[in-house]
Amino acid sequence: MTLEALNYLTAWPEIFLLGMACIVLVVDAFISDDKRDFSYLLAQFSLAGTFVLLMLAQIDGRVVSFNGMFVQDAMSVVLKLFIVAITAITFVYSRDYLKDRNIFKGEYYVLGLFAVLGMMLMVSANNLLMIYLGLELLSLCLYAMVAFNRDNGNASEAAMKYFVLGAIASGMLLYGMSILYGLSGSLVISDIAVAVNQATDTRIGMVFALVFILVALAFKLGAVPFHMWVPDVYQGSPTAVTAFIGTAPKLAGFAMIIRLLVEGMGDLQADWQQMLIILAVLSMATGNVIAIAQTNIKRMLAYSTISHVGFILLGILAGTKEAYASAMFYTIAYAVMSLGGFGIIMLLARKGLEAENLDDFKGLNQRSPWFAFLMMVLMLSMAGVPPTLGFWAKLAVLKVIVEIDMVWLALVAVFFSIIGIFYYLRVIKVMYFDEAVDDQPLSCGRDMQITLSSNALLVLAWGLYPAGLMSLCLSVF
């Protein structure tokens, strides 16, 4: 097999997705608004084809190609599969929502596909330049998606905040990478790992670079104190965009942390572990406490995201293979739970009404007992109540923290989780015990009904049988 053939074989899913995204872009420019469903179907076909190509990828160990810039391994394939699947589900949820607001445009799907491409490049990056290019491709698409509803002032404001703060974070990342390149003499992550291992006189410089990189990573994930963009962007964006931002990019962010911190700077674990402890505790405290005061459910879920990021960082800082697997398990669990939650919000919304406030959920059980039950499952899972998926995710992270003799940190996590249960139970209370403000029946397409039901039931099924997903996560490290 020639080098060129090997290169193309490892990147076939990305090449296919890039080609299809360009086709969707061109085709959408020539069709009328009443035929916009074709762009949607073409986008879903693109994701389905990418998913199939990923499933067909035969991974024997770790394959590095494109002169050390691109790596294909078990972790990258699993994360890409979940990114593609979650994006496809987000597109299903979004179609009726976008139609009701007269923003059912092909740009949403084109930007979404290019964002997925950026995430896939981040997941398979083995080079600092590749990480940065993938991150910027993702970020630029997200900035445009937040401002997608051009006539909405809140969306434009959220996009500006996201763009300015995102540019600062990208600058931090680039500065940290440039220091790392100057000290190691290479952009390849494996070469950097060797340079870090052999560093003596340059160790202080390496730690200096680590600080800048960690600030950028914390911003991209939404960890405190770099979380200021999360609530405003979640609330200001159209819910279809919020659902996308709050799910799949978290998987890419997890992969970026593994590539940079674990694979690239694993020998500096003693340094980045202390930093991650501070970020994790602050995120869990701030997210869970401030979420209690929120009456807007999108802002509540934004602060919930911040608290969940704290748990993900707990798993990573433990520094063992089991810990990385538990953090990956938690990230996937959070993405699936959050996707279902935003799906319910889009279900309740209708033309002229955004179901963003807790009052909009009043009496949901009277209007639709089935969807009230699904929302209850999702909220209980986010709260970490057994036997849901969220319970096993939290338990897995706490277990690895206890195993490295940081019992105090596990107790802090449990304490703030108990506080967090309040605002999740408040949603359930409103659905089941308050009188309905809106008595109009819920209506949505059959595809959304099936997908949303499957999403929530999957959370419950994985909660009852978590071993399969955990074994999958353990197998990639």
| DSSP one-letter string for 270-294 | HHHHHHHHHHHHHHHHHHHHHHTT-
pLDDT confidence bin for 442, thresholds 50/70/90: confident
pLDDT, average across residues 336-340: 93
User: What three-state secondary structure class fits 171?
Assistant: helix
pLDDT for the residue numbered 282: 94
Chain position carrying tokens 């970490």: 384
pLDDT for the residue numbered 3: 56
pLDDT for the residue numbered 362: 87
Average pLDDT, the chain: 89
pLDDT confidence bin for 57, thresholds 50/70/90: confident
pLDDT, average across residues 108-136: 93
pLDDT confidence bin for 65, thresholds 50/70/90: confident
Question: Which residue range(s) make up the domain with 123?
Answer: 3-475
Please, is 27 exposed, middle or buried when counting C-beta atoms within 10 Å of its C-beta (0-12, 13-18, 19+)?
A: middle
pLDDT, average across residues 286-292: 92
Phi, psi angles (nearest 5°) of residue 107 = -60, -35
Which helix (DSSP H) or strand (DSSP E) does residue 70 occupy? strand 70-72
pLDDT for the residue numbered 351: 67
Tell me which DSSP letter residue 264 carries: I
pLDDT for the residue numbered 446: 85
pLDDT, average across residues 399-410: 91
Chain position carrying tokens 């993702």: 138
Instruction: Check: pTM over 0.75? Answer yes or no.
Output: yes
pLDDT of 32 over the 90 cut: no
pLDDT of 265 over the 90 cut: no
pLDDT for the residue numbered 200: 75
Q: How many domains does the chain have?
A: 1
pLDDT, average across residues 33-42: 87
Summarize pLDDT for 43-55 with one digit per residue, the tens.
999 999 999 999 9
How many residues can be counted in the chain? 477
pLDDT, average across residues 102-111: 89
pLDDT confidence bin for 133, thresholds 50/70/90: very high
Quickly count: other Cβ atoms within 10 Å of residue 185's Cβ: 10
pLDDT, average across residues 303-314: 93
Q: Tell me the DSSP string of 73-130.
A: -HHHHHHHHHHHHHHHHHHHHHHHHHHHTT---HHHHHHHHHHHHHHHHHHTB-BHHH
